[in-house]
Amino acid sequence: MISIEGLRKQFITNKSTIHAVDDLSLTIKEGEIFGVIGYSGAGKSTFVRLLNRLEEPSGGRIVIDQQEITSLNTKQLRLARQEIGMIFQHFNLLWSRTVRDNITFPLEIAGVPKNERDERVTELIRLVGLTGRETAYPSQLSGGQKQRVGIARALANNPKVLLCDEATSALDPETTNSILDLLVDINEKLGLTIILITHEMHVIRKICNQVAVMENGKIVEQGDVLDIFLRPQQQVTRKFVEQVMGTEDENESIDQLVQSYDQGKIVRLHFIGETTNQALISHLAKKYEVDINILQGKITQTQRGAYGTIFVQMIGEKTELDESVRFVTDDTSVEVEVIRDVN
């Protein structure tokens, strides 16, 4: 669907040349929700603006749905942009226009007849959950409602690709989740390819299938979101994973906690992937003569399933404890490690 080869963007100042995007290559599949994450200055916002040539590339090649965006003239690019919707961190709404008129605007520019415009806008208002707010102005809307207007406007011309540049960064956590749920719904209903730019790993974790990590204009790590959570290779990636899963300081506190227990087995259960048995602990308590105390842990969900770790204390006869650990090891997808055995 999207092929990017050797993409570069340089900004030349009096004193230096800034390589905002530096020899970046990516392939993004049709219908995928693809995340690009990086800290401020990593080049991610420049990258996403290169995709629809709001920024002109210094070099490289971008192909979207078999059309080479980087070779189009001004007229061709204007038409191509109708198939590339974009939403922004600060909404970029027309403050003198109502909700309906904001959504209508790109259809007016495209020359769509009025009856078709009206029908399309009504459909989009329903899709993004703004029924009843059609005549409101942006100043009368909450942040989440403004972003819903921005999403509807971006979808007006039935694009094949939706670019989201820090689309939830200005929103509170609850509103962020509602917007992310809306993007997933749109992806599933319309089969839209979504490229999501963010500096927040929980956003990637919640809705993305694949993720690329940017640093200093380059992609330093890329892969399936669950794989990145499990095996982050770069220091910058590990920092992002810690946003969701906790820090090294928390791991040290777990080590101290484990040492304070003087009976039974202390076991770490590592949950991975969509086949994780969510009822494992209750199942063990019923199947074996063991008491199980949850000491500490954290599990989070990705699009491919659960990922996380729980520390438990298991108390009982040695044979029962050994059998229960063997069951988890052999008969479930949960990885198990005995941290301490004081039987």
Residues 240 and 268 in one domain: no
- Tell whether 99 and 6 lie within a shared domain: yes
CA terminus-to-terminus distance, the chain: 58
CA distance 176 to 298: 21
* Paired tokens of 332: 């479930």
Count Cβ atoms below 10 Å from residue 154 Cβ, excluding itself.
Answer: 23
Residue 215 CA: distances (Å) to CA of 44, 92, 161: 9, 27, 24
Pair 176, 283 in one domain: no
A 10 A CB-CB count for 291 gives 11
232 and 140 assigned to the same domain: yes
Q: What is the CATH number of the domain that holds 281?
A: 3.30.70.260
Residue 310 pLDDT: 84
The three-class DSSP label of residue 59 is: strand
230 and 320 share one domain: no
Question: 205 and 234: one domain?
Answer: yes
| 55 and 166 part of one domain | yes
**Of the residues 222, 244, 266, which one is the last residue of a structural domain?**
244
- Determine the structural domain holding residue 262 and report its residue range: 248-341
State whether 256 and 223 are in the same domain: no
Q: Note whether 232 and 270 are same-domain residues.
A: no
Q: What is the pLDDT of residue 48?
A: 94
pLDDT along the chain (343 residues), means of 10: 94 88 95 95 94 94 93 91 92 94 94 94 96 95 95 95 92 93 94 95 92 95 89 90 68 61 81 63 87 82 75 89 90 84 72
Is there a single domain that holds both residue 82 and residue 229? Answer: yes
At 257 the pLDDT is: 64
Q: Which of 191, 209, 244 is the last residue of a domain?
A: 244
- The per-residue pLDDT for 343 is 63
Query: Domain count of the chain?
Result: 2
The 3-state DSSP composition of the chain as helix, strand, coil percent (nearest 5) reads 40, 30, 30
- Looking at residue 268, its pLDDT comes to 86
Instruction: Single out the residue in 244, 272, 295 at which a domain terminates.
Output: 244
The dihedral built from the CA positions of residue 54, 55, 61 and 62, taken in this order, carries a sign that is: negative
Same domain, 121 and 148: yes
Per-residue pLDDT of 286-316, as tens digits, reads 889 999 988 887 777 777 677 778 888 889 9
Q: Which two tokens stand for residue 41?
A: 């200055």
Residues 155 and 119 reside in one and the same domain: yes
